[in-house]
Amino acid sequence: MQLVKHDLVIIGGGPAGLAAAISARKNGLKDILLIERDKILGGILNQCIHDGFGLHTFNQALTGPEYAQRFIDEFYELGIEVMLETIVLSLDKNRNISVSSKNGFIKIQAGAVILSMGCRERTAGAISLPGTRPSGVYTAGAAQNFVNLQNIMIGSHVVILGSGDIGLIMARRMALEGAKVEAVFELLPTPSGLARNVQQCLNDYDIPLFLSTSVFELHGNERLTGVSVAKVDKDFQMIEDTKRVVPCDTLLLSVGLIPENELSLGAGVNLETTTNGASVDDNYMTNVPGIFSCGNVLHVHDLVDHVSGEAALVGQCAVQYLHQKSLLKEPSITIETKQDVRYVLPQKVSGKKDFTLSLRVTRPMHNGVVMIKDNDRKVARKKMVRLHPAEMIRVKVKAKNIENAKKLEVSVQC
Ligand SMILES: Cc1cc2nc3c(=O)[nH]c(=O)nc-3n(C[C@H](O)[C@H](O)[C@H](O)COP(=O)(O)OP(=O)(O)OC[C@H]3O[C@@H](n4cnc5c(N)ncnc54)[C@H](O)[C@@H]3O)c2cc1C
């Protein structure tokens, strides 16, 4: 068995891993290894052939592959080492990594590790969908892979459960490919995806969206023949007399993403219940020294531009850790969520440098102010016309405003 050493190992070659690797090299680190289980770099962006990527970073609406290619080109120009078709099997708290590669089983000892493994989708089993188990039930991302990458049409009469961005984008894709998209059903009273996707993917194609409505039964033996849907009350219980059957041969599920944190757990990384990602400080370092996290494995992002920006910062912090470990101050200020805030990230900070706080709200609101306070003292605020759980909010906080703070509280005031 081979045993090798690297200063920095990055797990996952999607936009987060690529940006972290590029930033680490630009910050002077020579010995970097990026490990990716797929045949190509780019992660989930390879199957996102719609446009809408890079509006913030490049001021252009690129497709997913176009956006990824810009980073892939730079990655190879910088001569960073990569292992493709290689899966990381385990990671421990001392940063010992086991991988299965084309050349067999390899053990790697890393000075620092960046976790950038992305997310996987919630399946029919994960949401305990009742009914028969016919073919024709796919997660929206799996359907996207079949249609966009493998040129396989998966059905002709489609129902979509969940109004997350992937579901909305696949509603439009299936319509463009000639399928009849019967409807999108969403359990919550508001859409889960970005407002621009509701407009561009549903309204522009006359695809109906039914809110506070869910699928309660699958029908069909070999192939799906229909689904029973019904409205739900405020406790998400089915309203029996609204139940009806919608005939269809395909059901796409867009019911949430789960950060791929099995490796993180094996290394003893603490996870947050709100994000299902690691708990991190303002260096994006987890509770395990030398293990950092970024991208969708840390918290689900709606915009890839934010993934790239966050990961570039993480690459820089990892280099700083390797060069001068004492530079990373023990974080002493905790950040807590208050009224109408679902999560904040990072969850603790050193107070020694400026940082950007990412957060999501619990419900749609208008004309609100995101307020960050140290006791009663205001340290940062952001006024917003529209606040929506689907849209991540970022607020800059200056170190000089949190000197001597012990705890910051984040709330929304309307
Ligand atoms: C369908 C869809 C539509 C989207 N639309 C938009 C849009 O219009 N605009 C926008 O800005 N953003 C959009 N996004 C969001 C954006 O694509 C994601 O936020 C971004 O891709 C996350 O990057 P990542 O690197 O964290 O994860 P990923 O892109 O998922 O990359 C993770 C990588 O890690 C690898 N990996 C995982 N585990 C291992 C392991 N054990 N060993 C080795 N490799 C491993 C995976 O193979 C993968 O390549 C969309 C996302 C999806 C899914």
pLDDT in tens, 205-235: 999 999 999 999 999 999 999 999 999 999 9
pLDDT at 326 > cutoff 60: no
C-alpha span between 304 and 180 (Å, rounded): 30
CA dihedral sign of residues 288, 290, 296, 302: positive
Which residues make up the CATH 3.50.50.60 domain(s) of the chain? 1-120+257-328, 123-255
Interval between CA 40 and ligand 1 midpoint (Å): 13
Alpha carbon of residue 217 to chain centroid:
29
Q: Per the confidence metrics, is the pTM higher than 0.75?
A: yes
H helix or E strand, kind and range, residue 304: helix 304-323
Query: Average pLDDT for residues 16-27, to the nearest whole number?
Result: 98
Length of the chain: 414
The pick from 304, 306, 391 for probing ligand 1's pocket by mutation, whose C-beta has the most ligand atoms within 8 angstroms, reads 304
- Residue among 15, 91, 11 nearest 308 (CA): 15
Task: List every span in the chain annotated with CATH 2.60.40.
Answer: 330-414
Confidence check: pLDDT of 127 > 80: yes
Q: Judge whether residue 10 has pLDDT over 70.
A: yes
Distance (angstroms) between ligand 1 centre and the Cα of 243 equals 36
pLDDT in tens, 140-184: 999 999 999 999 999 999 999 999 999 999 999 999 999 999 999
User: Is a pLDDT exceeding 90 seen at residue 137?
Assistant: yes
Give the model's pLDDT for residue 129: 92
Class of the domain covering 1-120+257-328: alpha beta
Residue 362 has what DSSP assignment?
Answer: S
- CA of 14 from ligand 1 middle (Å) equals 6
Q: Considering only CA atoms, which residue is closest to atom 2 of ligand 1?
A: 166
* 123-255: CATH, from 3.50.50.60, 3.40.50.300, 3.40.50.1820, 3.30.420.10: 3.50.50.60
**What residues are in contact with ligand 1 under a 6 Å CB criterion?**
11-17, 35-38, 43-45, 48, 52-53, 87-88, 116-119, 141, 144, 165-166, 169, 260, 263, 295-297, 301, 303-305, 307
pLDDT at 327: 56
Q: Pick the atom of ligand 1 nearest to 52's CA.
A: 8
| Ligand 1 probe mutation, 33, 41, 44, most atoms within 8 A of CB | 44
Residue 343 has pLDDT above 90, yes or no: yes
In CATH, what number does 330-414 get?
2.60.40
Residue 413 — very low, low, confident or very high, per pLDDT cuts 50/70/90?
Answer: very high
CA of 259 to the centre of ligand 1 (A): 10
CA of 380 to the centre of ligand 1 (A): 31
